[in-house]
Amino acid sequence: MKRVVALTLLVMICAVSLLGCTSAEEIKKRDMTISQLQTKVTQLEAEVKKLGEQKPKVTATLYFVKSLPTEFYLFPEERQVQGQKPAELMRAALQELIAGPKTPGLQPVLPKDAKVLSVTTDKGLATVNFSAEITRMNVGSRGEALALAAIANTVTKIGIVDRVQVLVDGKKVETLGGHVDASKPIRRSDSLVIFE
């Protein structure tokens, strides 16, 4: 932005200083210089606009399944996501959660063909709308509890919300996999997370 202001001032200074020229050749040179500077200002304004439209990158913490000899837990994995608003960041983080882990030894927690249709936030509640593929889990009660906790933990870690309401195709559902109640907002569950 400072460059644009500086170039605009430079164009004005050049224009004022060149007004004293009287010969046709000097006027032609002045017009070319002004035209070149105006082109440069236009290019810089386009760059500034493009930079303003870029979404900042934020580190999101995602949670994937880690198997121990006696039980399954969630394990955090950090990823860079982009978004201007918290709901955009939450959606990007959930899309990464669906994409699966990059860390060896971790397992996906959600079906790969599921899609995040929308994310909205209101008064501490994030409402996450998934496609019907989210219900195609072939897991027991622990696996379903981990999936719901992974969603809640990923979303609440971004901030501004402490509860997550899961929808499927815009509607509340009783359960995602047949075992755990998903009809009410869910809270973060750190008791299912390990860090080693």
Better-scored residue on pLDDT, 157 or 3: 157
pLDDT digits (tens, 9 = 90+) for 76-94: 999 999 998 999 999 999 9
pLDDT for 100 equals 97
Among 113, 81, 80, residue whose Cα is nearest residue 99: 113
What's the rounded Cα separation, in Å, for the pair 81 and 43? 29
DSSP 66: E
Q: How many residues does the chain have?
A: 196
pLDDT band with cut points at 50, 70 and 90 for residue 46? low
- Map out the domains of the chain as residue ranges: 2-53, 57-192
Instruction: Count other C-beta atoms under 10 Å from residue 10's C-beta.
Output: 13
Instruction: Count other C-beta atoms under 10 Å from residue 186's C-beta.
Output: 21
Residue 2 has pLDDT above 80, yes or no: no
Stated as kind and residue range, the H or E segment containing 58 is strand 57-67
Residue 63 has pLDDT above 60, yes or no: yes
Average pLDDT over the chain, rounded to whole? 86
